[in-house]
Amino acid sequence: MDREPKILIYSPNDTQVYADLLQAKGYTAVGSASTPEEAAERLAGTEVLLSWKFPLHLLSRPEASSVKWIQSMGAGVDDLVSLPHIPEQIVITRIVDQFGGSIAEYVFAYLLYLNQDISRIRIAQKEKKWEPFLPGFLAGKTMGVAGLGSIGKEIAKKARAFDMSVSGLSYSGKQAHLVDQHYGPDEWRAFVQELDYLVLTLPLTDETRHVINRELLLAMKSTACLVNVGRGKLVVEEDLIDVLHSGHLQAAVLDVFYEEPLLKENPLWTLPNVYVTPHISGPSIPLEVMRFFADNVKLYLKGEPLRGVVNRNSSY
Ligand code: GLV
């Protein structure tokens, strides 16, 4: 290697795994930190940050002046772009094309569970009761995917494999061809009205924050189900809680929340038609993140455009 940038890996966990993977690829100028204190100590001279939940206040310190590029280990970068003090000249990249498969499996696990009423089957089995019933089916139902990036694309593809009708809403309209019916950002109401399932994969931006409010939730069919794998703040959480309390909506499957970990006193934990999961639908798998990052480092060293560059205006 002609030139080796000094790389700092930051993550609350798995830093050693990432460091070993990077060293196995021949990089030696690799540091790692898993607490803000360690990051503060090791930041000086760093050119490239590979990070998850980096303590962003450190970026305004003089030790951070050498940082030129931040590669996030995840898909969503709302935390990074929402902060004004990340200097414009620092390039931010996010992982793209890696989470669609696992997130789609998560979505369909819950959709099939609900339709086949697996919880009922488990209870009946425990009581040794042979009680046939007619389950629900996905075929013929309508799935709405809000956000048609690489994650939404994979969900739409799998919905089709289940013979569902697929609608989509996106802000750019670039991937409108992926769905039977496409809606733009001014058409939320028309979009949600006909859906049996609304799946949110949107990034959190100024435009998408709180788009799902009481009015929109009440415009959905009372039998519809909401799945949020995007970001908690896409939804007005209090409105969702009220609407679910009132018996509108069949279920909400939530992997993301306003505040994570979800506070013990949050009513979402105990609402019977809510499924709470701890932000696990699209895990960052070290080997895959490292494959993406190592390819990007090669491009970086050649001065070529990186993959997954975040546009500071659109925030994704
Ligand atoms: C996880 O939520 C991610 O953005 O990768």
User: In a mutational test of the pocket of ligand 1, which residue from 96, 284, 285 has the highest number of ligand atoms less than 8 Å from its CB?
Assistant: 284
Catalytic pick among 160, 279, 291, 307 = 279
At 152-184, the pLDDT tens digits run 999 999 999 999 999 999 999 999 999 999 999
Assign 3-class secondary structure to the chain. Answer: CCCCCCEEEECCCCHHHHHHHHHHCCCCCEEEECCHHHHHHHCCCCCEEEECCCCHHHHHCHHHHHCCEEEECCCCCHHHHCCCCCCCCCEEECCCCCCHHHHHHHHHHHHHHHHCCHHHHHHHHHCCCCCCCCCCCCCCCEEEEECCCHHHHHHHHHHHHCCCEEEEECCCCCCHHHCCEEECHHHHHHHHHCCCEEEECCCCCCCCCCCECHHHHHHCCCCCEEEECCCHHHECHHHHHHHHHCCCCCEEEECCCCCCCCCCCCHHHCCCCEEECCCCCCCCCHHHHHHHHHHHHHHHHHCCCCCCECCCCCCC
Average pLDDT of span 34-55: 96
**304 is annotated as an active-site residue:** no
* Averaged pLDDT score across all residues of the chain: 96
Shortest-distance Cα residue to atom 5 of ligand 1: 74
- Topology alike, domains 7-97+284-302 and 100-276: yes
Considering only CA atoms, which residue is closest to atom 1 of ligand 1? 74
Find the mean pLDDT for residues 111-139.
98
Q: How would CATH label the architecture of 100-276?
A: 3-Layer(aba) Sandwich (3.40)
Tell me the pTM.
0.96
Domain ranges within the chain, ordered by starting residue: 7-97+284-302, 100-276
Q: 7-97+284-302 has which fold?
A: Rossmann fold (3.40.50)
Mean pLDDT of 287-316: 94
